[in-house]
Structure 1
Amino acid sequence: MITIISENIIEEQKQQEFITIVKQMIEKSRKEDGCISYTLHQNTQNPLYYCIIEQWENEQAISQHNNTEHFKTLVPQMKKCRIEQKQANHFRIMDI
């Protein structure tokens, strides 16, 4: 399983727009083969700081996700709401 954590700082006046776009992404992505989890989190100390946390079965599922029509349409819309993207990292769960 692979976890993606995408950290974003959103313009204050564009928060609701961002949430609406991410909601669409979540609804569509959760229906994809290989999607285990797809959630949006808001920082408790900084309400402009959001993390999208995705869990996928494997790299192939991520690649297929990145080539979907909704990904290609919604990601550019999300970017327009950002002040900056802090990071987008991929992690493998350690089986220890």
Structure 2
Amino acid sequence: MITIIATFAVPEANRERFVELGRRLVAGSLAEVGNVSYQFVVSREDAGAFAFVEGWADAAAIDAHNASEHFTTLIPRLVELSDEAPVITQYEEV
């Protein structure tokens, strides 16, 4: 399994819209073949620090996800609502 953690810094004025779009991204992603898990979380210490914690069966599933309509539509909008570019890191089990 491959785990992806994508973090976003969102200003207060954009948080409500970011959460709305983030939930749509989760719903679409959970329905994808090869998705193991997809969580949308916010920091307990910083209400503007959000993360998507994703589990994927393999690289092909990630490629399909990155090409999906909901991903290509929603991610640019989420980035626009953020203070800076997201930080995205992929992990493999050891």
TM-score scaled by structure 2? Answer: 0.96
Per-residue Cα deviation, 1:8-46 (whole angstroms, up to 9, x for no partner)? 100111101001101111001100000011111111111
Give the aligned partner of residue 54 of structure 1: 54
Residue identity (%): 27
Query: Following the alignment from structure 1 to structure 2, what is the Cα–Cα distance between the partners of residues 81 and 60?
Result: 28
Higher helix proportion: 2
| Structure 2 letter corresponding to 1:48 | G
TM-score scaled by structure 1? Answer: 0.94
Where structure 2 has 5 or more consecutive residues not aligned to the other structure, the ranges are none
3-state SS in 2 of match to 1:46 = coil
Over the residues paired in the alignment, what is the CA RMSD in angstroms?
Answer: 0.9
The list of structure 1 runs, each at least 4 consecutive aligned residues, that deviate by more than 2 angstroms after superposition, is: none
3-state SS in 2 of match to 1:33 = coil
Equivalent pairs, count:
94
Task: Write the mapping of 1:24-63 to structure 2, written as runs, cut at 5 A.
Answer: 24-63=24-63
Higher strand proportion: 1
**Superposition deviation, residue 85 in structure 1:** 3.4
